[in-house]
Structure 1
Amino acid sequence: PVSMPMPVPEKISYSPNSLWRTGARAFFEDQRARRVGDILTVIVEISDKAEIENNTTRNRDNSESANVAKFAGVEEILKAILPKEVDLNELIAATSKSKSDGGGEIDREEKITTKIAAVVTQVLPNGNMAIEGRQEIRVNYEMRELIVAGVVRPEDITSRNTIPISKIAEARVSYGGKGQISDVQQPRYGQQILDILLPF
């Protein structure tokens, strides 16, 4: 079911000696959205391209050694505890060496061009408006969903009651789908669990 925010009732006022009611719509064309519940069209034009390449090489050599040939009489206690084969002059000797090479490359290009109607859900004290629009398209067993939300200025709304996505502050655009095709594109649950559990 579709639900919309309840607009705030406006007090009807009249001007003396005038047929025009304050806050009424224009005679010949619709005004721009300005109240809770009004609808405007959001023009979504997103063209994003990113190319990132990273290479990392790390080497580390470490060597540690320790002995207790003479240390406040502790060597006598160690001789009594440790086997006779243990040489206190070479009690600890350790070396370590590690090396790792990593590389990554991202080449991504996205393009979305569409229009969606959004509803004014809140009018802020400074006059800006919070809007939200949702569009669902079902084709056979595949569902496509587009969600747009953000904050707009009344000055950025055109005379055709439209606004480009670039003029929306705190913009949230979600475009995705679910269905048989989307399920096939996703890895199986068993593979996802193994990807989480296996460290390598």
Structure 2
Amino acid sequence: MARPCHHRRFTLSVTLASLLGAGMLSGCGNMIDRVAGIGNEPSMDPIENPQKDPNYQPVSLPMPSPSVDVRQPNSLWRQGSRAFFKDQRAAKIGDILTVVIEIDDEAKLDNKTDQTRDGSNSAGLDNLLGYETMLKDIFPDGIDAGNLVNSDSKSTTTGSGTVDRSEAIKLRVAAVVTQVLPNGNLVLQGSQQVRVNYELRQLTVGGVIRPEDISNVNEINYDKIAEARIAYGGKGTLSDVQQPRFGQQVYDIFFPF
């Protein structure tokens, strides 16, 4: 048995009211925090072990067969070492290396498509063993057997698109090795916070790297980081002004037109 329409409308109204109430409670909590922070600088996050973060998850990737470390007898050199006495590059959990981020991308694409198609079809039945004369008896107004079907079609499609994008980011951030995978690759995680007056800028970077890609000055370029996660943002007075008001965001979510 189908439910009445008023029951479905009531259920929908309750659902929307619940979502709106939850959004308002979240927004009220945010507003209370903002009011409490009036006149104060944005607080920086404490320095903590990334593995203690509730959202931290160890990386698990397909691993090749373990390789055998071949050492030459009576040799003073260690395999993979770039220094005579000690390799200064990051290799163990807790070691620090510098990530160099230099992004200078520019893309410009123009695309235009014009398509026109005309079609015309006609069919007749002048002779069919004499049965064509019976069509006049079937159709009261009569019919021309030589012009039974006649159709025309025409379609026109026009499309255009333009993409013009430019990005330029040059940053350097120190990251900490948080995990050593079975094949020797390193998992790194790093963050940097800079506060200028009432604006806090935060840079985070994470991913998987090969020890061979680390330079002899203990640096690595961002394009050699697998599964790279790079974020650059901030919070404070300027970031707050650039965001739409809470009511406007709720209005944009629920307004269907």
The two structures have a TM-score, normalised by structure 1, of 0.61
Partner of 1:62: none
> Relative to 1, partners in 2 of residues 1:172 and 1:5: Cα closer, same or farther, differing over 3 Å?
closer
Partner of 1:2: 47
Residue number among 200, 224, 236 corresponding to 1:167 in the alignment: 224
User: Secondary structure of the residue that 1:2 maps to in structure 2?
Assistant: coil
Give the percent of matched residue pairs that are identical in Structure 1 and Structure 2. Answer: 61
Q: CA deviation at 1:31?
A: 1.2
- Say whether 1:198 aligns with 2:231: no
- Structure 1: any 5+ residue segments left out of the alignment? 7-25, 57-100
Bigger strand fraction: 1
| Cα displacement string for residues 104-141 of structure 1 (whole angstroms, at most 9, x for unaligned residues) | 65422111101110000000000000001100001111
After the TM superposition, list the runs of 4 or more consecutive aligned residues in structure 1 that deviate by more than 6 angstroms.
26-29, 101-104
CA contact (8 A) 1:136 1:146 kept: yes
Partner of 1:123: 180
Partner of 2:28: none
Bigger helix fraction: 2
Residue number among 191, 197, 203 corresponding to 1:146 in the alignment: 203
The two structures have a TM-score, normalised by structure 2, of 0.48
Q: CA RMSD in A?
A: 3.0
Q: CA deviation at 1:51?
A: 3.5
Q: CA deviation at 1:29?
A: 6.9
- Say whether 1:37 aligns with 2:94: yes
User: How many positions carry a matched residue from both structures?
Assistant: 141
- Say whether 1:134 aligns with 2:134: no
CA contact (8 A) 1:5 1:37 kept: no
> Relative to 1, partners in 2 of residues 1:190 and 1:141: Cα closer, same or farther, differing over 3 Å?
same
User: Secondary structure of the residue that 2:91 maps to in structure 1?
Assistant: coil
| Cα displacement string for residues 68-117 of structure 1 (whole angstroms, at most 9, x for unaligned residues) | xxxxxxxxxxxxxxxxxxxxxxxxxxxxxxxxx99765422111101110
CA contact (8 A) 2:50 2:189 kept: no
